[in-house]
Amino acid sequence: MPENAQPSRAQQLVGNFAPKLAELTDEVLFGDVWARPALTRRDRSLVTVASLVTSSSTEQLVSHLRLAKQNGLTEDELKEAIIHLAFYAGWPKAMSAILVAKQVFGDTENADGTEKP
């Protein structure tokens, strides 16, 4: 990494513990796979979010929902994808994913339905 460069998210999360995994994430996954021209970054985000929902990978879903918005997907499109996946991946997976989306998108309601201050 160049002297003045900021560490990537992978480097921040696991770089000291598993530097090779951070390197592969940065160079292969995001440096090569995500840069391939056959799918747009928007499409790759939708596929990735769907995969994370179907595998119940909610820890990874947080950052990929944010990335999906940066890549052009709307909150409504992402919520609709999760609703659609309920019938293919299972209701519990969709319910878990929609709660993550609710948190990520900054919903203004508490869990009991009351308005947050």
The string of pLDDT tens digits covering residues 73-106 is 999 999 999 999 999 999 999 999 999 999 999 9
pLDDT(17) > 60: yes
Query: Mean of the pLDDT values across residues 27-50?
Result: 97
CA separation for the pair 50, 62 (Å, rounded): 13
Amino acid sitting at position 93:
K
> Does some domain include residue 19?
yes
Q: What is the mean pLDDT of residues 45-56?
A: 98
Q: For position 29, what pLDDT does the model report?
A: 96
Parent domain of 26: 8-38
Q: In this predicted model, which residue has the larger pLDDT, 78 or 109?
A: 78
Instruction: Please check whether residue 1 lies inside any domain of the structure.
Output: no
Backbone angles phi, psi at 72, to 5 degrees: 105, 0
Residue 49, classified by CB atoms within 10 Å of its CB into exposed (0-12), middle (13-18) or buried (19+), is buried
Predicted confidence at residue 78, as pLDDT, reads 98
Q: Are residues 25 and 45 in the same domain?
A: no
Please state the domain count of the chain. Answer: 2
